[in-house]
Structure 1
């Protein structure tokens, strides 16, 4: 069941909110979860879903489904992706068949994970809150919480193009 579709404008807002949230975690009153708590959540998801994942030095996990064979993106690339974003309960919170965006303006988990594949590749990213949207709740323009703070996020990404 689809919870909601974020859409490009909200993706941009979420991307821009990362910098403010990560710099102001104490001033916002939210309390980040510990790396150990986040790792336990990610490992539980990996085990429950029989995923063979690799832990990155950043703390996130990934599974390369297809490595691709084209251009390898850098943080300065613009990427075109097809993706689905889920919570650990497998609820889809966002998806797109053709998102084009500068990688450096997306969440840190994507900046780390997407360059692990090449054009045409597919990857699963299991991202802790510290590399996603942090401890603040993310709300839509009506004030409804669309992503709870401290959420571990799972993205299935296909890299369609690198510019």
Structure 2
């Protein structure tokens, strides 16, 4: 006979079901908590655009102004071409919700911006406020094709027989 032996009573089938139901309920509460506490961008439509929205693979042409919480402008541009996949996650999320011609106000929490690292004039853990106008967007393939066409036109202008300048002008030494 052992002094450390403790008799265990068997668990009924009803008790096992209650254990499983409790475990599933606990997991469900955990998932709901995680979903409601995931950082999200603030997104306000000032002027609705039209047509489809860009994807992360697209290149957008936007007009924007970025500010910090205190109103300090850290960046602005009248016509900025940006590849959606190359910007911070919150900005990419906003761009993929926008439509051409629309104007939007976007608030990006630090977790979806630069996080705990500083970036130029932007201090670490900064909430970013943007006014954005989506002027246009194209796929990366369309932009490459346009660039190739422009390069070909430039080469043709510099090629013999297509010399720039007045017709009949004497060649420059």
RCO higher in 1 or 2 (8 Å CA, sep ≥ 6)? Answer: 1
Task: Please tell me the TM-score bracket, short chain as reference.
Answer: 0.5 to 0.7
Q: How much has 1:70 moved relative to structure 2?
A: 3.0
Computing the radius of gyration from Cα coordinates, the structure with the larger value is 2
Aligned to 2:52: 71
Whichever structure has more helix as a proportion of its residues is 2
Aligned to 1:34: none
State the Cα RMSD in Å: 1.6
> Contact (CA 8 Å) 1:71, 1:162: kept in 2 or not?
no
> Contact (CA 8 Å) 2:52, 2:99: kept in 1 or not?
yes
- The DSSP-based 3-state class of the residue aligned with 1:126 is strand
5+ residue gaps, structure 1, are 1-56, 140-145
Output the TM-score relative to the length of structure 1. Answer: 0.59
- The runs of at least 4 aligned residues of structure 1 exceeding 2 Å deviation read none
5+ residue gaps, structure 2, are 1-37, 139-173
Is 1:82 the counterpart of 2:63? The answer is yes
Aligned positions of 1:7-156 closer than 5 A? 58-139=39-120, 146-156=121-131
Whichever structure has more strand as a proportion of its residues is 1
CA distance in 2, matches of 1:110, 1:137: 17
> Contact (CA 8 Å) 1:103, 1:111: kept in 2 or not?
yes
